[in-house]
Amino acid sequence: MQCFVDVVLPIPLERFFTYKISPKEADFLEPGMRIAVPFGKSKIYTALCHRVHQNPPEAYEAKEIHQILDEIPLVNQLQLQHWQWIADYYMCTLGEVVRSALPSAFLLESETFILLNKNQEIDESLLKDDEFLVFEALQHQESLKVNDICQIIDRKNALPVVNRLLEKQVVLQKEALYEQYKPKKVRFVRLSEAYETEEKLQGLLESLKRAPKQLQAVLSLFQLQARTKNPIKLTNLENNAKVSKGVIKSLIEKGILEDYYLQRDRVEFTDAPLNVSIELNEEQEKAFDHLLVSFGRGRKVALLHGVTSSGKTEVYMKLLQRTLQEGKQALYLLPEIALTSQLINRLLKVFGNKVSVYHSKYSLNERVEVWNNVLQQKEKAQIVIGARSALFLPFSNLGLIVVDEEHEQSFKQFDPAPRYHARDAAIVLAQYHGSPCLLGSATPSIESMNNAKKGKYGYARITERYGKVMQPEIELVDLKEATKKKQMTGHFSDRLRLQVGEALENGEQVILFQNRRGFAPIVECTTCGHSPQCPNCDVSLTYHRHKNQLRCHYCGYHMVLQNDCLACGSFTLDKKGFGTEQVQEELAELFPDAKVGRMDLDTTRGKHAYEKIITAFEQQEFDVLVGTQMVTKGLDFRNVSLVGIMNADSLLNFPDYRAHERSFQLLTQVAGRAGRTKKRGKVLVQTYNPYHRILQQVSTNDYAEMFENQLYEREHFKYPPVVRIIKVTLKDKDFNKLNEASEWFAGALRNLLPHERVLGPEYPPVSRIRRYYLKNILIKIDLGHSPSKIKNGIKRIEKSFNAISQYKSVRLVYNVDHI
Ligand code: ADP
Ligand code: ZN
Ligand code: ZN
């Protein structure tokens, strides 16, 4: 009897591929095991077993597999089911999902590079013969391809040997390694509390007269303290006092000075016994109970809507505790950038070594380890914190998924396929496990809130900050007026300048937020703040310099740019925005003594740059942090009393139907960084348009009204959640061919879908990327209509399209639920 196996290859191949296997292999194989298979002329891939059967493929002669690589499945049934759902829903292939789901160490192929692991003492006597051959070869060459290794060991398939060597950590797979960041600890000094009274101090100074060096050091400390309210670094004192280290050391030993660290613990896995009980306050307790009841009644998805700093994390932790008590696994998803050590440490303090972190920036070894721990249901990995890719781990017993900051757009993967939304995929995953899924946010997305309102999701609220800390006071500063009254210095209104000065004098820290994203600038009247809008869509028009046009990127509407403002008639249209760098420069002139740090894409490129800046700010190494939206994410800075928004208009005018929702979210989140302790924080929002609805809603904290308005507009202009959106992008290097092809495709879509709205083809804002021209077609699908039927229809069009020889080079990209 001849047996066959269908495998999933980790490439964008629509179908399964079939290989020959022996009956014995057929007996042994289970779905989710890895198999090394030949593909193409000389390539070897790691594929996943999908199904064993006895039907030879019709179109080709099946080849034999090379080898089975696993003894038990690496991927379980639930995962395969979930991945298939992702492939179907997001219109990509299962192979593409597999490629992004598995750590690449599990997917060795003939082109993979292998290096010697120089960090490991290797006992050669423990290596098998073939392993030793590879080991020896790597003494002479920096790296080897798996293909080269085949020749070295004189075998067709080297994957098993390489896998063994990887497991023994003799070799490493070539990759950009990411070591965990360990910040330097900064030591500070201060006078001991014992000498704080006038009397004690006099006595001290008297007694130190016999130790002039020590006296000098103490006086020097007073001098430094007079100059700044910031903590004094030990090194600073040493330099200023011009005394030796020993002098200060003996002062500390005598208990006259005291040294301390400002830094909070970062990721540190301890074995310390934990007996932390989580005491919720009344409002949190109510929310918690409410969620339990809701889950208990079988409504498995719920939204926890709690203002910033209300203790949502505490509620999550309490739920996590329950999950662990039930002996189940839990997944805690965070948006990429917010994967901060601050939060990880809080969880570690409560759950200790039951917490694992899974992150694409961690080394392959660490990721493989977490994968295996989850697969074996080890206690170490009972709770996994991770960014979106943690969804793909081999959970078999999930009891809870938390999606924190569910409104964050970075949950949507943009490139490459699968272009999935991690929140939505998490909801589906939870369903497969029959487990609850909790979405949390201070500013829920319109879709999630809509689902809560419709009763599809459970809903719980926390309206007060923990400890009754007051919400920051939000003040809108009218830039138009300030300009008229000549109260501006660069981009700083007098009001903002004053407040920054005051905060600095009090030794408090300041965050200044300037969003500078987008490509082509937006036109804005500096007199009235008006920026031209598209008549068909709820978006601002974007300025295109080469044609001197204003264009809508959604429907293609365009108009010639006028010289005068359409609203007020002034000739004061401004096309230029300003960025964080400029804010930093202006600050240096206004406050020459202030130390200023900057956090944006440019300053956070390096390996640990992001964490370094956060740590430095936490340690009060600088007074002001200027940043883009990176500064908004879940960070907890104790000493920040003032947040300044340099210009809210650039957010509001972003050409996107979500611009208003996002502005509300962003401004509320960044405001949430201010005044997290007793003292009430202050937020200054500079704007040309203080009467803009969204700004009013931000300043009065009126989420409910914002939601109503936005939902109304989505209904009116047909945007999600009132319709579903699929964006089709066509790419080609040939401009004319692209235009022809996209017209053809749009035409076919209109034929197929007479009842949906097919918009475009339209050039995206950036219409050429890496020499490829781009065009977008937007399909809006009414909620009543079956999206899966429509997706199948689109796939059929794709087949006909691919059969047209002159369009062969044109690439198609689907983005389902494009945001
Ligand atoms: P959120 O997640 O809603 O932004 P957090 O959970 O970060 O809020 O809470 C804000 C601060 O208040 C944190 O420092 C947290 O430790 C503290 N906090 C909140 N709730 C409690 C509680 N029940 N017991 C002790 N501390 C709490
Ligand atoms: Zn105007
Ligand atoms: Zn439009």
Instruction: State yes or no: 552 annotated in a binding site.
Output: yes
Predicted local confidence at residue 649, as pLDDT: 87
The C-alpha atoms of residue 311 and residue 278 are separated, in whole angstroms, by: 11
The C-alpha atoms of residue 439 and residue 462 are separated, in whole angstroms, by: 14
Residues 297 and 438 occupy one common structural domain: yes
For residue 462, the ligand closest to its alpha carbon is 1
Q: What is the dihedral of CA 76, 82, 86, 89, to 10 degrees?
A: 150
Atom index in ligand 1 nearest the CA of residue 404 equals 2
Strand order in the sheet with 558-560: 542-544, 549-551, 558-560
Is-contact 328 359, C-beta < 8 A? no
The C-alpha atoms of residue 510 and residue 499 are separated, in whole angstroms, by: 9
Written as six digits, the tokens of 507 are 């030794």
- Asked if the structure places residue 61 within a domain, the reply is yes
DSSP per residue over 498-521, as a string?
Answer: HHHHHHHHTT-EEEEE-----SSP
Predicted local confidence at residue 111, as pLDDT: 74
Predicted local confidence at residue 138, as pLDDT: 86
- Asked if the structure places residue 91 within a domain, the reply is yes
Q: Is 316 in the pocket of ligand 1 (CB under 6 A)?
A: no
Kindly give the distance from the C-alpha atom of residue 477 to the centroid of ligand 2, in angstroms, as a whole number.
18
The C-alpha atoms of residue 493 and residue 591 are separated, in whole angstroms, by: 14
Q: Is 279 in the pocket of ligand 1 (CB under 6 A)?
A: yes
Helix (H) or strand (E) holding 813: strand 811-816
Residues 301 and 370 occupy one common structural domain: yes
Residues 304 and 419 occupy one common structural domain: yes
Residue given tokens 């929002």 in the structure block: 685
Is-contact 163 69, C-beta < 8 A? yes
The C-alpha atoms of residue 285 and residue 275 are separated, in whole angstroms, by: 20
Total Cβ atoms within 10 A of residue 10: 24
Q: Is 466 in the pocket of ligand 1 (CB under 6 A)?
A: yes
- Asked if the structure places residue 225 within a domain, the reply is yes
pLDDT tens digits along 641-694? 999 999 898 788 877 889 899 999 988 988 888 876 767 889 999 999 899 999
Q: Which domain holds residue 66?
A: 3-106
Mean pLDDT lowest among 2-6, 303-307, 668-672, 685-689 = 668-672
Kindly give the distance from the C-alpha atom of residue 540 to the centroid of ligand 2, in angstroms, as a whole number.
15
Q: Residue whose CA is closest, atom 20 of ligand 1?
A: 311
Q: Is the pLDDT of residue 339 over 70?
A: no
Coil vs helix vs strand at 106: helix
Written as six digits, the tokens of 758 are 């097919």
Mean pLDDT lowest among 107-111, 360-364, 636-640, 796-800 = 360-364
b (16+ CB within 10 A) / e for 780-807: bbeeeeebeebbeebeebbeebeeeeeb
Kindly give the distance from the C-alpha atom of residue 311 to the centroid of ligand 1, in angstroms, as a whole number.
4
CB proximity list for 206: less than 8 A, separation 6 or greater: none
Q: Is 198 in the pocket of ligand 1 (CB under 6 A)?
A: no
CB proximity list for 437: less than 8 A, separation 6 or greater: 300, 301, 302, 400, 401, 402, 403, 426, 427, 430, 431
Q: Which of 310, 466, 637, 665 to mutate for ligand 1's pocket (most ligand atoms within 8 Å of CB)?
A: 466
Predicted local confidence at residue 606, as pLDDT: 64
- The stretch 438-455 carries a mean pLDDT of 96
Contacts 24+ apart (CB under 8 A), 20-24: 20/62, 20/63, 20/64, 20/65, 21/52, 21/64, 21/65
Written as six digits, the tokens of 249 are 């050391």
206 confidence band (pLDDT: 50, 70, 90): confident
- Asked if the structure places residue 775 within a domain, the reply is yes
Q: Is the pLDDT of residue 263 over 60?
A: no
The C-alpha atoms of residue 738 and residue 734 are separated, in whole angstroms, by: 6
- The stretch 555-565 carries a mean pLDDT of 81
User: Where is pLDDT greater, at 386 or 104?
Assistant: 386
Predicted local confidence at residue 361, as pLDDT: 67
pLDDT tens digits along 155-173? 877 888 888 888 888 888 7
Kindly give the distance from the C-alpha atom of residue 447 to the centroid of ligand 2, in angstroms, as a whole number.
34
Residues 97 and 245 occupy one common structural domain: no
Q: Is the peptide bond before 436 cis (omega within 30 degrees of 0)?
A: no
Q: Is 281 in the pocket of ligand 1 (CB under 6 A)?
A: yes
User: Where is pLDDT greater, at 408 or 610?
Assistant: 408
Over 575-620, what HEC string results? CCCCCHHHHHHHHHHHCCCCCEEEECCCCCCCCCHHHHHHHHHHCC
Q: Is the pLDDT of residue 267 over 50?
A: no
Q: Is the pLDDT of residue 175 over 60?
A: no
Sign of the dihedral through C-alpha 350, 356, 360, 361: positive
Residues 511 and 607 occupy one common structural domain: yes
Predicted local confidence at residue 374, as pLDDT: 95
Q: Is the pLDDT of residue 177 over 80?
A: no
For residue 313, the ligand closest to its alpha carbon is 1
User: Where is pLDDT greater, at 749 or 142?
Assistant: 749
Predicted local confidence at residue 410, as pLDDT: 87
Q: Is the pLDDT of residue 517 over 70?
A: no
Q: Is 310 in the pocket of ligand 1 (CB under 6 A)?
A: yes
Written as six digits, the tokens of 586 are 């202006």
Share of the chain above pLDDT 70, in %: 90
Residues 624 and 497 occupy one common structural domain: yes
Mean pLDDT of the chain: 86
pLDDT tens digits along 131-158? 888 888 888 888 888 878 888 888 877 8
Written as six digits, the tokens of 566 are 């359409």
Which of 89, 44, 45, 62 minimizes the C-alpha distance to 5? 62
411 confidence band (pLDDT: 50, 70, 90): very high
Q: Is 306 in the pocket of ligand 1 (CB under 6 A)?
A: yes
Total Cβ atoms within 10 A of residue 55: 10
Predicted local confidence at residue 329, as pLDDT: 97
Q: Is 308 in the pocket of ligand 1 (CB under 6 A)?
A: yes
User: Where is pLDDT greater, at 457 or 298?
Assistant: 457
CATH number for 11: 3.40.1440.60
Written as six digits, the tokens of 184 are 């330097």
Beta strands in 456-532 (DSSP E): 458-462, 473-478, 488-489, 492-493, 509-513, 524-525
Residues 198 and 62 occupy one common structural domain: no
- The stretch 424-436 carries a mean pLDDT of 97
- Asked if the structure places residue 174 within a domain, the reply is no
Q: Is the pLDDT of residue 600 over 70?
A: no
Predicted local confidence at residue 226, as pLDDT: 78
- Asked if the structure places residue 784 within a domain, the reply is yes
Residues 487 and 450 occupy one common structural domain: no
- Asked if the structure places residue 271 within a domain, the reply is no
Residues 96 and 126 occupy one common structural domain: no
Residue given tokens 């709205």 in the structure block: 757
Instruction: State yes or no: 534 annotated in a binding site.
Output: yes
Q: Which of 312, 313, 405 to mutate for ligand 1's pocket (most ligand atoms within 8 Å of CB)?
A: 313
Q: Is 311 in the pocket of ligand 1 (CB under 6 A)?
A: yes
Residues 295 and 406 occupy one common structural domain: yes
Sign of the dihedral through C-alpha 285, 341, 610, 411: negative
Residue given tokens 């959640």 in the structure block: 721
Global confidence as pTM: 0.79
Residues 311 and 438 occupy one common structural domain: yes
Atom index in ligand 1 nearest the CA of residue 310 equals 3
Bridge partners of 385? 332, 357
Residues 130 and 223 occupy one common structural domain: no
Coil vs helix vs strand at 247: helix
CATH number for 395: 3.40.50.300
Q: Is the peptide bond before 416 cis (omega within 30 degrees of 0)?
A: yes
Written as six digits, the tokens of 142 are 């920096």
Bridge partners of 306? 462
Q: Is the peptide bond before 721 cis (omega within 30 degrees of 0)?
A: yes
- Asked if the structure places residue 568 within a domain, the reply is yes
The C-alpha atoms of residue 624 and residue 595 are separated, in whole angstroms, by: 6
CATH number for 774: 3.30.70.600
Predicted local confidence at residue 266, as pLDDT: 35
For residue 461, the ligand closest to its alpha carbon is 1
Q: Which of 276, 309, 403 to mutate for ligand 1's pocket (most ligand atoms within 8 Å of CB)?
A: 309
Q: Number of structural domains, the chain? A: 7
